[in-house]
Amino acid sequence: MSTEASSRAFDEAQTYIPGGVNSPVRAFKSVGGTPLFIKEGQGGKMTDIDGNSYVDYVQSWGPLIFGHRDESIEAAVIEAVKHGLSFGAPTEAETELAHEVVSLFDSVDKIRFVSSGTEAVMSAIRLARGFTGKDDIVKFEGCYHGHSDSLLVQAGSGLATFGNPSSPGVPADFTKHTLLAKYNDIESVEKCFKDSDDIACIIIEPIAGNMGLVPADKEFLHGLRKLCDDHGVLLIFDEVMSGFRATLHGAESITGVTPDMITLGKVIGGGMPVGAFGGRKDVMAMLSPEGPVYQAGTLSGNPIAMAAGLAAIKKLKKNSKLYPVLQERATRLVEGMKAAAAKNGIAMVTDVRGSMFGFFFSKDAVKNFDDAAQADHALFAKFHAAMLAEGFYFACSGYETGFVSTATTDEMVDQTITAAQKIFTEIC
């Protein structure tokens, strides 16, 4: 398999674009390869510019739950384009998509659209601060909430609760309002409440997908809800990744814990740039122009993006049996890979939520970021490169979640397991 054209394209891209990519994870740095340049996708597969075809388990990092070039989404976009790309004035499609989300999520009375998950989370946090009149926020190690300043935080030294910036360019003055807690560890959250009486919100991925797939324990989420209620603090579920991926009605429908606000992205745009944040009526009423908390966007609720999102959500709603089917397929995939690994003495732990799947090369269960970091990421890098060479496109980091789509066929899953079997024999 030649990837010469991709290598050449990457060299050229690096001349004009920092690192050759417009989002760092695409650079394959953590697995040590060079990124493939993609020419086109169709269904469950995509093809690079050298003409190699891959079964795609990344799906644009989540959005493409119907695979590439879904007919109804494509048709909706083409139809919308004919009426104009953007107006900067309200369109009915915005209300229609808002109505769909409000009817699907018990926790959401009102919703606002933005153009990315980062923007959704950033705005939700501003709103939580405006609503409560408090400044501090609690986030969890290993959860990713986009690249806004106060969320680019890593653990402080020693026992410090308050985070340090995880990137140059982020003033420590900004991150001193971000408290870091340990995922699935309620005591670490209680400590935050001891250290600060100025907490506006807790933000969490209820089904974490950015340290590999690590769902939160139900009791833990119930514990967060109680702490929030006891202290007058808002609970925000960041479902930019898990929303419409794990289930149609949000993590609240499988955990029984109702957040005050949620953030959405990825699937809600059907492949176009869309993010959203929504929640309780009294909280959302604080948002401009209804209330004083400012938030805006020239291309927010863009008609083409709304058309794509609406087509995707309507299709999901029409096919309610789709999630168990996707879950069964994803389970068969990871169980098959796990069995193949075990045959070669390699330990793997796996998890599945709807169309999301995760696996770690680890003997022990993974409950938080420290556990995820202890998995064998060197082995993952080898596995990734070998699978890619066989035509299977997995996310290029052991800290990512994989996805199956409705276009991922049983045959593709079988082929993947067979390839994994061959690779585990070779790399052991």
Ligand X SMILES: *Cc1c(COP(=O)(O)O)cnc(C)c1O
Residues in contact with ligand X by CB under 6 A are: 116-118, 121, 144-146, 205, 209-210, 238, 240-241, 265, 275
* Residue with the shortest CB distance to ligand X: 117
Which tokens belong to 21? 């990519």
Q: At 244, phi and psi to the nearest 5?
A: 70, 0
Residue closer to ligand X (CB basis): 116 or 132: 116
How far apart are the C-alpha atoms of 116 and 275, rounded to whole Å?
4
Is the Cβ of residue 186 or residue 204 nearer to ligand X in the bound state? 204
117 vs 142, beta carbon nearer ligand X: 117
Least distance in angstroms from the C-beta of 151 to ligand X = 9
Active-site annotation holder among 54, 144, 323, 399 = 144
Q: Which is nearer to ligand X, 142 or 275 (by Cβ)?
A: 275
Q: Report DSSP state, residue 272.
A: B
136 or 238, CB closer to ligand X? 238
Alpha helices in 92-201 (DSSP H): 92-104, 117-132, 172-175, 186-195
Given the residues 48, 70, 238, 260, select the one marked as catalytic.
Answer: 238
Cα(179)–Cα(341) distance, integer angstroms: 39
Say how far apart CA 154 and CA 298 lie, in whole Å: 32
- Residue 348 contacts residue 361 (beta carbons within 8 Å): yes
CB of 175 to ligand X, least distance (A): 17
Which pair of tokens denotes residue 284? Answer: 């959302």
Contact yes or no for 41/34 (Cβ under 8 A): no
User: Measured from the CB of residue 411, what is the shortest distance to ligand X in angstroms?
Assistant: 29
We find the least distance from the C-beta atom of residue 335 to ligand X, in angstroms, to be 25
Reply yes or no on whether 338 is catalytic.
no
- Tell me how far apart the terminal alpha carbons of the chain are, to the nearest angstrom: 23
Q: Which is nearer to ligand X, 247 or 416 (CB)?
A: 247
Q: How far apart are CA 127 and CA 98, in angstroms?
A: 18
* Whole-number Å distance between alpha carbons of 378 and 300: 41
The verdict on whether 144 is a catalytic residue reads: yes
Handedness of CA 132, 289, 280, 295 (dihedral sign): negative
Instruction: List CB contacts of 365: < 8 A, sequence separation 6 or more.
Output: 349, 371
**Least distance in Å: CB of 331 to ligand X?**
22
Name the active-site residue from 134, 266, 315, 338: 266
Q: Is 98 helix (H, G, I), strand (E, B) or coil?
A: helix
CB of 137 to ligand X, least distance (A): 14
Q: Could you give the residue numbers annotated as active site?
A: 144, 238, 266
